[in-house]
Amino acid sequence: MAVPRWIGALSAILALAGCEGGAAPTVGMLEDQLQGKSCRFEHGPAGCRARGIRPLDALLLEQHHCDLWAVQCLGDLATPAARQALAGVLRSKADVETCDGVVPIRSEAIRLLGAGGDRAFAYVLQRLKDDGPRMMARSEGATGCETRTEDDRVLDEALRRLRP
- Mean pLDDT (the chain) is 85
d(C-alpha 36, C-alpha 107), whole Å: 19
- SS3 for 121? helix
Q: What are the tens digits of pLDDT across the range 51-88? A: 876 666 665 567 899 999 999 999 999 999 999 999 99
Residue 67: Cβ within 10 Å count: 25
Q: Are 95 and 104 in contact (CB under 8 A)?
A: yes
d(C-alpha 57, C-alpha 115), whole Å: 32
Q: Which residue has the higher pLDDT, 17 or 109?
A: 109
Q: Are 92 and 55 in contact (CB under 8 A)?
A: no
Q: What are the tens digits of pLDDT across the range 109-139? A: 999 999 999 999 999 999 999 999 999 999 9
Q: Which residue has the higher pLDDT, 93 or 8?
A: 93
Residue 12 has pLDDT above 60, yes or no: no
